[in-house]
Amino acid sequence: MEEHVVLVTEKDEVLGLMEKMPAHQNGVLHRAFSVFLFDASDRMLLQRRAQGKYHSPGKWTNAVCSHPRSEESYLQAAHRRLEEELGISTALEEKFHFIYKADVGGGLWEHELDHVFVGRYEGEFRLNAEEVSEVRYVTMEALEEEIRTYPDRFTEWFKIIWEQYKIHLA
Active site residue 112: yes
Beta strands 108-120; 92-105: pairing state: antiparallel
Active site residue 93: no
User: What does each of the 170 residues of the chain score in pLDDT, given as a tens digit?
Assistant: 578 999 999 999 999 999 999 999 999 999 999 999 999 999 999 999 999 998 889 999 999 999 999 999 999 999 999 999 999 999 999 999 999 999 998 899 999 999 999 999 999 999 999 999 999 999 999 999 999 999 999 999 999 999 999 998 86
Q: What is the DSSP letter of 154?
A: B
85, 110, 112, 156: the catalytic one is: 112
Plot region of 114 (φ>0 → left; ψ -120 to 50 → alpha; else → beta): beta
65, 85, 110, 156: the catalytic one is: 65
pTM attached to this predicted model: 0.94
Q: What is the DSSP letter of 84?
A: I
Q: What is the pLDDT of residue 1?
A: 59
Q: What is the DSSP letter of 156?
A: H
